[in-house]
Amino acid sequence: MTIMKRGILPRSTDEKVLPIRLADIEQAVARIAGRVIHTPLVRSSSLSERTRQPVHLKLETCQPIGAFKLRGATNAILLLDDARRQRGLVTASTGNHGRAVAYAARELGVSATVCMSSLVPANKVEAIRTLGAEIRIVGTSQDDAQEEAERLAESFGLTLIPPFDDVGVVAGQGTIGLEIVDALPGLATVLVPLSGGGLAGGIAVAVKALKPQTRVIGISMERGAAMHAAIAAGKPVAIREEETLADSLGGGIGLTNHVTFALCRDLLDDIVLLTEDEIAEGIRHAARKESITVEGAGAVGIAAILADKVELFGPTAVIVSGGNIDPTRHRKILAEAAT
């Protein structure tokens, strides 16, 4: 279920070996200020009582697009010069990154095209379309969508905004780590959803630079956990993308990954995998005990605690990464527990 890395010193002790530095994240804070929300970190009474440790939820559901992805997309787009932005933006997405790019593009008055696979839920596709982006549905995997995005960039001169494997994107996501460190003295553990590694890698860089002894644990699903497979293999590998409640965590990390694989390999203390039933229980707990609506990917940190797959020591931050779940699916998940 897990990759245990206790006792292995992270190579992060020297920032020079990392693809990004703390300074990149600090600069991202200033760059995206006023365009993204400094999200609340709220104490969970139910999880704190269960674990007998202070557990706090970092509510990225409060972002204008309902997910953390706005941070990285906004930072990456603002790093571009005006000429590259005006050529039009293109990206591949499992939903939330596409929504982030579409939102930021609209705010800056530039065009955006979002490539997605047929596995992306309809509600996420429609939300992107509503923001004015052009939609391309291609294939049955994130890799298929990425190939189409790269083709469009090559053929039409559009500017590619990667969903995770990009220094600007990772630095933007890392701003969450700085906010947590500032808000939670004595931070001992961070539970972070893990997919392509942009969120986990960025947070790990920030947290480890400021609090090296703090554990950063990646949480993913058993079905098609790409970063878990890559770290186990010692290199990026191709995996089959599968349907999962944590749809935002689907897709590969890219066989030519040059940023996030190294960050996650070197900085994460552990990776925990969850069953579909465990993810569903996380969604139900969030609704009933925390009064928040979360998608599967956003619920995995909560789910890992409920499944007793993480042992907590001291103040803990749980990244609630997004709330963009289809309402019908959400109601069905809640009803299943009542029968």
pLDDT bucket at 262, cuts 50 / 70 / 90: very high
Give the residue with greater pLDDT, 23 vs 337.
Answer: 23
Q: Let me know: does 268 contact 218? Beta carbons within 8 Å.
A: yes
Q: What is the pTM of this model?
A: 0.94
Query: Average pLDDT of 83-106?
Result: 97
Quick one: which of 280, 276, 142 has its CA closest to 198? 142
- For 74-110, letters b (16+ CB in 10 Å) and e give bbbbbbbeeebbebbbbbbbbbbbbbbbbbbbeebeb
How confident is the model over 86-97, as a mean pLDDT? 96
Per-residue model confidence (pLDDT) at position 339: 53
**pLDDT value of position 9:** 34
User: d(Cα 293, Cα 296) in Å, to the nearest integer?
Assistant: 10
Mind listing the pLDDT tens digit for each residue in 174-233? 999 999 999 999 999 999 999 999 999 999 999 999 999 999 999 999 999 999 999 999
Domains and CATH numbers, the chain: 2-67+166-338 (3.40.50.1100), 69-160 (3.40.50.1100)
pLDDT exceeds 70 at position 16: no
**Tens digits of residue pLDDT in 269-322:** 999 999 999 999 999 999 999 999 999 999 999 999 999 999 999 999 999 999
Query: Please, are residues 36 and 63 in contact by the beta-carbon 8 Å criterion?
Result: yes
Residue 338 has pLDDT above 90, yes or no: no
Q: Would you say 48 and 55 are in contact if contact means Cβ atoms under 8 Å apart?
A: yes
